[in-house]
Amino acid sequence: MAKEDVEKTLAELSRDLGESKARLEEAQRVAHVGHWEWDLATDVIVWSDETYRIFGLSPQERPMDLATVRSMVHPDDREPLYQAVDQDLVAGQRPSGEFRIVRPSGEVRTVSSLTSERWSSLPGDTKRDASGRPYRLFGTIQDITDRKCTEEALQEISRNLLESKTRLEEAQRVAHVGHYYWNLVTNRVTWSDELYRIYGLSPQEGPTDMAIIREMIHPEDRELVFRAAEEALRSEVRPDAEHRVLRPNGEVRTVHGLGTVKRDASGRPYEMFGTVQDITDRKRAEEALQRTQLDLREVTRELQRQQAYLTEAQSLTHTGSWACNLLTRQIFHSSDENARLYGFDPSQGAIPFDRFYNAILAEDEVALRAKLENAIREGADYDVEFRIRRTDGAIRFLRGIGHHNPSQEIGEYVGITMDITERKCADEEREKLRQLEADLAHINRVNMMGELAAALAHEIKQPIAAAVANAGACLGFLEGERPDILEAREAATGTIGCARRAAEIIDHVRSLFKKSFPKRESVDVNELIREVALLLHNDIRRNSVTVHLELAENLPEVAGDRVQLEQVLMNLMLNAIEAMRDARGDLRITSQPNDDGHLLISVSDTGLGVPADKVDQIFDTFFTTKPQGTGMGLAISRSIVESHGGRLWATSDSGRGATFRFTLPHDGSMGT
Amino acid sequence: MSTSSSPIVFVVDDDEDMRVSMQRVLKTVGLRAELFATPQDFLQRNIPDAPSCLVLDVRLPGMGGLEVQHKLIEAGINIPIIFITAHGDIPMTVKAMKSGAVEFLTKPFRHQELLDAIQQALQRDQLSRRHRNEIAELQQRYKGLTARERKVMDLVVSGMQTKQIASVLGTSEITAAVHRGHVMHKMQAGSPAELGSMAERLKLSANR
């Protein structure tokens, strides 16, 4: 070969080599793969440019040796790496491995190194190791940090996914929420495990047939569910339906389904995704709650109704209710009416104890306080009446009833307060009226006696006056120089006639009482005695007389004139009361049956009594010891008693009062 | 004068014994009595022109004594009344006396009490009768005066002299004197003072 040819070939070869080297460099650069040579004898290391780059250095920045490279390996990986290399070399194997390096910037990269050749001698090299041991290694190094990261990320994602799926299933299980995919193209449905459980099936893989699902929806709800689904497919409305599911074992569950429809770019739906939640328990709880709330509302309404009735009742009866501690003056409860009783406006809020208490009239407060303190001390109930001055100035009578529960604190009372003003007034009015009636009856009696006496006096005075005049005339005729005897005689005769007439009138009056008893009725003497005692209530009280009624029970009735017998009793009792005027005496009235078919009634006083020599006279007409007496009372009384077939008499215990007794034949003995 | 006629005592009482006994009492002093059982009977009787009085029971059937008194006053009958009663009280007595009762006797009364009261009543009646007659006489005379003479009488009574009267009447003094003379004659007055007294009594009676 010619020299030129050789040179030309050499130049071509050199050019080709340079091109190959450039291509290799480029390939290494793109693949992040560098190569290296390690002279095991000298530990000199030669790197390609890319290797420098992998290590974070500029290409061929400085010559490399093993110590430098060693120092650049991650400390954690250093010893294991070189131990493994040593072992591989001893075993005649090509070392390889993944390890981390630390760039000068501190950045950690993961690299993979492969030893491609072990040379005991380079091809064409004359220097050979006689032992045949390799003295030089050649290999590649690749930066796999990014791949490593991706791998790790992938692994992480995969792990997370798995975890998420487990958690989702767990969550679905706990929440009784299942989900499904409905592939609208294939009409296949994929269910989550929980959804199977909700439908009472065991979780199974694979899509479920729509027809089966349809069967499992409660017949009454079927149309509703599918209409909701159709609606969702047709419009943008999300399917949302509550319906019942028939489990294979016949159990009915209520579920709530929510869905979303996925559409392709053209808006055509291709999948429906949805969740189904078993809300049976929640529903039951809700219903129970609703029922409870309903019950509660009902109870509340009932309470309100009761409250309204109570308020109305309190208002009607002017009764307020309260609870308080009288010692600490705390009020725990005070009804509206309770406030109104005092004239307070209940809408103004709680009224302090003292405002109630200060309304009490001072003259009533002392006695009231004493009663309350006593009750508190003894832990007893109380019932008090007191007056208050209402805020409008009106004086009202209140009655307070307090009850102490021994289990409560000392001084704690619950009770009611009533406005009893009207009742009080009515009572007073009634009492006044009763008094008036009694007074009137009394006056009537007294007047009757008075009038009778006056009429009698007039009747008797007439003939007496005539007699006196006649007698006077008689005297007149006899006087003078020529007495007229004839006229005098006539006048004297007239006098006698008039006197007779007076006597006749008296007889007539007496006979009136004796004969005029056409009225005979059954009279209960005890009742009569009580009546008269009531009628004389005023006289009895005025004279501080104490009345003792000792009336035998089951007395037979007497036949007689009730009014006249009443008159007798009244007369005797009035006499007795007058005999004890201002002496605080005892008036004792007894009734008892006698052996001889009579009732014996006695009226006793503790007054001065009747002088022994007058006991017989007191029944005489016009006999009286009283300045205002007519002297008719006892006479008439005796007439009345005798006309009834009885007797009236008196006994006197010498200065220790008098007893008047009378008998009346009773019905059994009259035989009429 | 007819005042000499004998006096009459009217007795009104519903009790016959009372009436008869009172008549007897009156008879002892020779007084004439007319008896009536009821006030109505009495009121129908024309009271004669003689001294009289009325004995009246307070309590009478139909009409009370006080009512009878009232009716008599209303009718212008002026008769003294003696009330008698069996049961007089003070207010009733006061009322009766205020209305001009002479006496109020309570039964039984002594016969002399009745007679004294009757005497007093009759005297009072006689006096008032005379007085009434005099007034009637004066009224008669006054009626006899002409209008002009009455005017002159008023002027004389007021104390005017003839001259002053003439000037008031616008006449001559002589004419006035003639009128004055007629008045004094017709009224039978002896002096202007007597005429004044007559005028006074006429005025009183006219006011009554």
A282 phi-psi bin (left φ>0, alpha ψ -120 to 50, beta other): alpha
Q: Which of A515, A548, A567 corresponds to the end of one domain?
A: A515
Contact A475 B111 (CB under 8 A): yes
**Full-model pTM:** 0.37
| Residue A49 identity | D
Greater confidence (A112 vs A116) lies with A112
Contact B28 A498 (CB under 8 A): no
> Are B163 and B114 members of one domain?
no
**B199: three-class secondary structure by DSSP:** helix
Over the stretch A479-519, which tens digit does the pLDDT of each residue have?
878 888 999 999 999 999 999 888 888 877 766 655 555 56
B166 inside 8 A of chain A by CB: no
> Are A559 and A637 members of one domain?
yes
User: Given this model, what pLDDT does residue A97 score?
Assistant: 86
B63 is a domain residue:
yes
Contact B87 A458 (CB under 8 A): yes
pLDDT band at A118 (very low <50, low <70, confident <90, very high): low
CB atoms within 10 A of CB A279: 17
> Are B47 and B96 members of one domain?
yes
> Are B86 and B186 members of one domain?
no
The residue-averaged pLDDT of A76-100 equals 86
Domain hosting B155: range is 144-207
Tokens of A586: 């005892």
B138 is a domain residue:
no
The residue-averaged pLDDT of A531-550 equals 84
Greater confidence (A123 vs A29) lies with A29
- The rounded distance, in Å, linking the Cα atoms of A571 and A47 is 160
CB-based contact A601:A589 (threshold 8 Å): yes
- The rounded distance, in Å, linking the Cα atoms of A513 and A449 is 13
CB-based contact A644:A667 (threshold 8 Å): no
> Are A260 and A348 members of one domain?
no
A457 is a domain residue:
yes
- By C-alpha distance, the chain B residue nearest A497 is B17
| Residue A216 identity | M
We report the CATH number of the domain holding residue B153 as 1.10.10.10
pLDDT band at B3 (very low <50, low <70, confident <90, very high): very low
Side-chain half-sphere of A343: how many Cα atoms within 13 Å?
13
Q: Which of A416, A451, A472 corresponds to the end of one domain?
A: A416
Domain hosting A403: range is 319-324+342-416
pLDDT band at A443 (very low <50, low <70, confident <90, very high): low
We report the CATH number of the domain holding residue B59 as 3.40.50.2300
The residue-averaged pLDDT of A84-107 equals 86
We report the CATH number of the domain holding residue A638 as 3.30.565.10
> Are A72 and A197 members of one domain?
no
> Are A222 and A247 members of one domain?
yes
> Are B115 and B181 members of one domain?
no
The residue-averaged pLDDT of A578-591 equals 85
Q: Which of A515, A550, A569 corresponds to the end of one domain?
A: A515
Check: complex ipTM more than 0.85 = no
User: Given this model, what pLDDT does residue A611 score?
Assistant: 74
**What's the Cα-to-Cα distance from B150 to each of A660, B87, B141, B147, rounded to whole Å?**
87, 54, 11, 5
A335 is a domain residue:
no
A487 inside 8 A of chain B by CB: yes
> Are A526 and A665 members of one domain?
yes
- The rounded distance, in Å, linking the Cα atoms of B185 and A24 is 201
* Residue A73 DSSP label: B
The residue-averaged pLDDT of B7-13 equals 93
User: Nearest CA to A93 among A112, A116, A70, A113?
Assistant: A116
Is the pLDDT confidence value at A294 over 50? yes
A346 is a domain residue:
yes
> Are B66 and B91 members of one domain?
yes
> Are B32 and B66 members of one domain?
yes
The residue-averaged pLDDT of B89-102 equals 76
- The rounded distance, in Å, linking the Cα atoms of B36 and B68 is 13
B64 is a domain residue:
yes
The A658-665 sheet, strands edge to edge: A546-551, A586-593, A598-604, A658-665, A648-652
A454 inside 8 A of chain B by CB: yes
B5 inside 8 A of chain A by CB: no
The residue-averaged pLDDT of A627-650 equals 77
Structure-derived torsion over alpha carbons of residues A427, A432, A435, A441, reported in degrees to the nearest 10: -120
A151 is a domain residue:
no
The residue-averaged pLDDT of A143-156 equals 84
pLDDT band at B206 (very low <50, low <70, confident <90, very high): low
User: Given this model, what pLDDT does residue A670 score?
Assistant: 43
User: Given this model, what pLDDT does residue A642 score?
Assistant: 85
- By C-alpha distance, the chain A residue nearest B19 is A466
**A119: three-class secondary structure by DSSP:** strand
**What's the Cα-to-Cα distance from B179 to each of A422, A553, B141, B148, B175, rounded to whole Å?**
90, 107, 15, 8, 6
We report the CATH number of the domain holding residue A183 as 3.30.450.20
> Are B113 and B151 members of one domain?
no
- The rounded distance, in Å, linking the Cα atoms of A291 and A280 is 16
User: Given this model, what pLDDT does residue A459 score?
Assistant: 79
Contact A469 B18 (CB under 8 A): yes
Position of tokens 């022994």? A612
Position of tokens 């009536």? B36
B137 is a domain residue:
no
Contact B108 A461 (CB under 8 A): yes
Is the pLDDT confidence value at B51 over 80? yes
> Are A504 and A580 members of one domain?
no
Q: Which of B85, B101, B130 corresponds to the end of one domain?
A: B130
User: Nearest CA to A224 among A234, A235, A214?
Assistant: A214
Is the pLDDT confidence value at A174 over 50? yes
Name the average pLDDT for chain A. 83
B83 is a domain residue:
yes
Q: Mean pLDDT highest for which of A287-296, A456-465, B114-123?
A: B114-123
The beta-carbon neighbor of A469 closest among B22, B29, B87 is B22
Lowest mean pLDDT of A191-205, A315-329, B44-58, name the range.
A191-205
> Are B97 and B161 members of one domain?
no
> Are B179 and B201 members of one domain?
yes
CB-based contact A632:A623 (threshold 8 Å): no
B136 is a domain residue:
no
Structure-derived torsion over alpha carbons of residues A527, A531, A537, A543, reported in degrees to the nearest 10: -70
> Are A525 and A623 members of one domain?
yes
> Are A245 and A190 members of one domain?
yes
Is the pLDDT confidence value at B98 over 80? no
Over the stretch A64-75, which tens digit does the pLDDT of each residue have?
888 888 999 999
- Nearest CA-CA distance, residue B86 and chain A, Å: 6
Lowest mean pLDDT of B79-88, B147-156, B179-188, name the range.
B79-88
> Are A635 and A527 members of one domain?
yes
pLDDT band at A315 (very low <50, low <70, confident <90, very high): confident
A598 Cβ contact partners less than 8 Å away, ≥ 6 residues apart: A646, A663, A664, A665, A666, A669
The residue-averaged pLDDT of B86-112 equals 79
> Are B82 and B155 members of one domain?
no
A458 inside 8 A of chain B by CB: yes
pLDDT band at A48 (very low <50, low <70, confident <90, very high): confident
> Are B125 and B148 members of one domain?
no
The beta-carbon neighbor of A472 closest among B17, B107, B111 is B111
DSSP A597-666: SEEEEEEE--SS---GGGTTGGGSTT--SSTT--S-HHHHHHHHHHHTT--EEEEE-TTS-EEEEEEEEB
Tally of domains within chain B: 2
Is the pLDDT confidence value at A3 over 80? no
B6 is a domain residue:
yes
Tally of domains within chain A: 5
- How many beta-carbon pairs below 8 A join chains A and B? 85
> Are A401 and A430 members of one domain?
no
> Are A450 and A540 members of one domain?
no
- By C-alpha distance, the chain B residue nearest A484 is B28
Is the pLDDT confidence value at A129 over 90? no
Tokens of A43: 């530990």
Mutate which of B14, B22, B23, B25 to disrupt the A interface (most A C-beta within 10 Å)?
B25
CB-based contact A498:A467 (threshold 8 Å): yes
Contact A458 B29 (CB under 8 A): no
Q: Which of B130, B158, B183 corresponds to the end of one domain?
A: B130
Q: Is the Cα dihedral A216, A220, A225, A227 positive or negative?
A: positive
A658 is a domain residue:
yes
Chain B residues within 8 A of A465 when measuring between CB atoms: 18, 21, 84, 86, 107-109
> Are B171 and B99 members of one domain?
no
B182 phi-psi bin (left φ>0, alpha ψ -120 to 50, beta other): alpha
B26 is a domain residue:
yes
The beta-carbon neighbor of B21 closest among A457, A487, A494 is A494
Residues 73-132 of chain B with CB under 8 A from chain A are 84, 86-87, 107-112, 114
Position of tokens 């599911």? A245
Residues 520-539 of chain A with CB under 8 A from chain B are none
A469 inside 8 A of chain B by CB: yes
The residue-averaged pLDDT of A562-590 equals 85
